[in-house]
Amino acid sequence: MMWWGYDHMSGWGYLIMGLSTVLFWGLVITAIVMAARYVSRNARAGAPPQQSPEDVLAQRFARGEIDAEEYRSRLETLHGRQGHDAY
């Protein structure tokens, strides 16, 4: 019975409540964005690097899948040095 007349929140109460709500949702959104960035950064780090066609061709030659003549022929084809009568 001591607080008769003070049963509603004052202007400061509304201000503090409003600021704390904005702060709460700001922290929630920031945490979601940071988690998404962390996951995407780790997903990219685990992906194999892109290889050029020349690198793939050199690896096939090194493994012995193709011989030197085929390697040179395909390398020239990649660089466009061979004639236009490919078809």
State pTM to two decimals: 0.45
Instruction: Please give the Cα distance from 30 to 75 (Å, whole number).
Output: 50
Q: Mutual orientation of helices 53-63 and 68-79 as an angle, nearest 10°?
A: 180
pLDDT of residue 84: 53
Instruction: Please give the Cα distance from 81 to 87 (Å, whole number).
Output: 15
CB-based contact 53:77 (threshold 8 Å): no
pLDDT of residue 55: 92
pLDDT of residue 83: 54
Instruction: Please give the Cα distance from 54 to 60 (Å, whole number).
Output: 10
pLDDT of residue 3: 60
Q: What is the pLDDT along the chain (87 residues), one digit of tens a residue?
A: 456 666 677 788 889 999 999 999 999 999 999 999 998 887 777 666 788 899 999 999 999 999 999 999 999 998 887 555 544
